[in-house]
């Protein structure tokens, strides 16, 4: 069975986006029944998405394109900064200013090109004017760029105080995650204009980059702020096993590569000191074998009331959507949704009506909607 299993369901409207519902199916999960709807547009390796206040969508493609999906049309946004698109590198996440449209800014992460074929994760802000980005400004970019095409991160999430979290990968060079002067393998925190918040945990400490919020991460591709506590949660890729979800607190060390539940590729030998070490945090949950997590959402909508407060995570290697049930900070149950549908779920989001949006990472990746069935 594939994502293209068919039933006739008519036409759906997603905010400002007209969805073709000629292809879809009813799915009965443990708690909710939903309609899986495939939208008509394809995307080349889509990576991130964001919902605008009018319900239209922004979707990034790794090769460097930014698309606006509105009113049944897919329109390219011009003026995107230059990216280096190779391996895992390219145009990555997108976020909308919380004060949009009064402050009509978009925030983008991407692999910024450097000399000699190198690149490193970067953060840009730009004003959205119609279908063009203007006043593009690089707010931050990784100082130490390399030619590796691995582990760029990179997700964005807004803190309740209006600061912006940015995740980075350690670029395949493990020890960079433990170097406090290096921004690789970290979660960073910035003000909206790219300046450093004065209450960042390492501000003023010699040898520490002031943007650091936490360290010891391998490759974080999921960030979400808990809707009740306001605390940041993140997930990251392990090596051979050891994908993990963490509650991210300021100044904490999350262990990579000193501790991990993953193993070496090929030999499956232990990495570092094992799974525990003093001064290093433990994950809320981890997965071995890996599911290759990407995208993260705390569900807060009304469309699926039994899912309210659940954590949703896309799976690339696992090709599914995973639902985590929480009691406080503990994961008490997991459900695998849409298993073996053929879709590497790259990102997951929620629209203003409480529907869940998925994009799949393929040369002809698709946008899907989890829609309540007609009553």
Per the listing, tokens 């690789």 go with 184
Q: Give the tens place of pLDDT for each residue, 62-78.
A: 999 999 999 889 999 99
pLDDT of residue 318: 86
Spatial CB neighbours of 176, under 8 Å, sequence gap ≥ 6:
144, 170, 182, 184, 185
pLDDT of amino acid 374 = 80
Residue 321 domain-assigned?
yes
Q: Is 151 a catalytic residue?
A: yes
Dihedral angle over CA of 359, 365, 367, 370, nearest 10: -70
For residue 159, tell me if it sits in a domain. no
Q: Which residues, 6+ apart, have CB-to-CB distance to 262 below 8 Å?
A: 238, 239, 240, 241, 242, 243, 271, 288, 290
Plot region of 363 (φ>0 → left; ψ -120 to 50 → alpha; else → beta): alpha
How many domains, the chain? 1
Q: Taking residues 135-162, what's their average pLDDT?
A: 97
Q: Examine residue 247 and state whether it is found in any structural domain, yes or no.
A: yes
Q: Evaluate whether residue 229 is within a structural domain.
A: yes
Quote the pLDDT of residue 15. 42
Of the candidates 41, 151, 237, 320, the residue annotated as catalytic is 151
Task: Read off the pLDDT of residues 351-374 as tens digits, 9 standing for 90 and up.
Answer: 999 999 999 999 999 999 999 998
The predicted pLDDT at position 3 comes to 37
- What are the beta bridge partners of residue 369? 37, 357
Assess if residue 114 is contained within a domain: no
Contact predicate 44/66, CB 8 Å: no
233-252: pLDDT as tens digits: 999 999 999 999 999 999 99
Kindly list the distances between the CA atom of residue 253 and the CA atoms of 177, 250, 278, in Å, as whole numbers in the listed order.
Answer: 9, 9, 10
d(CA 90, CA 88) in angstroms, rounded, equals 7
Indicate the pTM of the whole model: 0.93
The residue segments making up the domain with residue 326 are 11-70+170-187+195-206+213-371
> Does residue 28 form part of some domain?
yes
Q: What is the CATH number of the domain that holds 38?
A: 2.120.10.30
């Amino acid at each position: 069975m594939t994502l293209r299993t068919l039933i006739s369901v008519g036409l759906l409207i997603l905010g400002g986006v007209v969805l073709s519902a000629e292809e879809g199916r009813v799915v009965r999960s443990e708690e909710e029944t939903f309609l899986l709807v495939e939208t008509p547009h394809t995307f080349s390796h889509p990576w991130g998405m964001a919902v605008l206040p009018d319900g239209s969508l922004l979707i990034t493609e790794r090769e460097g394109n930014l698309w606006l999906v509105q009113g049944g049309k897919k329109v390219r946004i011009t003026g995107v900064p230059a990216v280096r698109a190779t391996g895992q590198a390219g145009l990555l996440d997108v976020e909308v200013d919380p004060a949009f449209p009064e402050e009509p800014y978009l925030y983008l992460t991407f692999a910024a090109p450097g000399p000699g074929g190198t690149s490193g994760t970067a953060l840009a802000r730009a004003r959205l004017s119609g279908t063009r980005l203007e006043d593009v400004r690089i707010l931050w970019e990784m100082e130490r760029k390399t030619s590796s095409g691995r582990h760029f991160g990179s997700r964005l999430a807004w803190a309740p105080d209006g600061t912006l979290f940015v995740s980075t990968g350690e670029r395949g060079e493990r020890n960079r995650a433990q170097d406090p002067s290096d921004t690789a393998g970290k979660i960073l925190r910035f003000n909206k204009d790219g300046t450093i918040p004065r209450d960042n945990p390492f501000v003023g400490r010699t040898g520490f980059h002031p943007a650091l919020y936490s360290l010891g991460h391998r490759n974080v591709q999921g960030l979400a702020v808990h809707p009740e506590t306001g605390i940041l949660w993140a997930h990251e890729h392990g090596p051979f096993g050891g994908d993990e979800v963490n509650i991210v607190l300021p100044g904490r060390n999350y262990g990579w590569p000193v501790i991990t539940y993953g193993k070496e590729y090929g030999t499956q030998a232990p990495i570092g000191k094992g799974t525990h070490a003093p001064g290093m945090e433990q994950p809320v949950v981890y997965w071995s074998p890996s599911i290759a997590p990407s995208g993260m959402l705390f569900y807060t909508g009304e469309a699926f009331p039994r899912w309210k407060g659940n954590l949703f995570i896309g799976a690339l290697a696992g090709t599914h959507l995973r639902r985590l049930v929480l009691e406080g900070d503990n994961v008490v149950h997991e459900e695998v949704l849409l298993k073996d549908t053929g879709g590497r779920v790259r990102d997951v989001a929620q629209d203003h009506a409480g529907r869940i949006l998925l994009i799949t990472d393929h040369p002809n990746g698709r946008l899907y909607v989890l829609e309540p069935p007609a009553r």
